[in-house]
Amino acid sequence: MRAHSPDVPPRPLCGPRAGRRARPRAAPSRALGKASPRCLTVPSSVPAPLTSRLPKTGETIHGHKFFIGFGGKGANQCVQAARLGATTSMVCKVGKDSFGNDYIENLKQNDISTEFTYQTKDAATGTASIIVNNEGQNIIVIVAGANLLLNTEDLRAAANVISRAKVMVCQLEITPATSLEALTMAHRSGVKTLFNPAPAIADLDPRFYTLSDVFCCNESEAEILTGLTVNSAADAGEAALVLLRRGCQVVIITLGAEGCVVLSQTEPEPKHIPTEKVKAVDTTGAGDSFVGALAFYLAYYPNLSLEDMLKRSNFIAAVSVQAAGTQSSYPYKKDLPLTLF
């Protein structure tokens, strides 16, 4: 399958790279008026057993399927953006091991620039263990590994790529200090920042809020960040107001099957954006699909209203939950309705 449809020719910012299609070095995509969302984090290898239900503490149960796939929040978000037609680049670090080698190849196969995908012998590639039940619900444990070794020197080497992007996406699967530096670099260059505070930490540095043009978290992350319970769209609106007061320009709280809630400094009244109901097979990575789609729309369709961007991102995330796996479930532009583009 191809990540780009013929009517949106991708142009790499980072020179030629191996992959399904060799492409010559091109001028920065800013010359086209369309530069790429940049995803900043390190991918993880994902072993995923499927079970009829999630185990209780201390319980051993039988599963009925096991597979290993590619994941990691930043990688997922980059893959989804790339499959929609964006030119994307990963600034990240993996181990010098078989998982790391496979991961770099997977990024290339998805037409993601790996010029600043570093490898290290000092730690293994990050991994995540995911258990999924019959309803598509999951529990996840990550081991960050090489993710935590990405540092400011690595970012500075990639400064030209970061400064030329239209959108940069950051998460917390690397050290908070490194994510904060990346956001600072992007903000200083006038690049739109999309921050996904996951995995969430309660004592998040206040600068994350002021450096985030778009602050996007799910309900459980919102609870950790605000101390409020989020069980409904109304609850999400209250939590979003708390986050907005901390300095964010736009706050989005995703609610899984219930869509998302959004508010902004210019429109501080919480608004619920529902999504269509679908039969979920596996919800793993749906939030990353949403963030990747949102990054794509922010970069390539900046004149769309935020509400329209969120409706389209909701739709794409809903498509992803109808298939098993994480990146393997992410749709390509050619498989989606033309009305989304």
Let me know if 288 is a catalytic residue: yes
How far is residue 133's CA from residue 139's CA, in Å, rounded to a whole number? 9
* Residue tagged 């969120």 (tokens): 310
Inter-residue contact 301 to 156 (CB < 8 Å): no
Among 113, 78, 75, 67, smallest CA distance to 94 is for 75
Q: Which of 282, 288, 308, 335 is catalytic?
A: 288
Among 115, 46, 121, 118, smallest CA distance to 76 is for 46
| Residues with a known catalytic role | 288
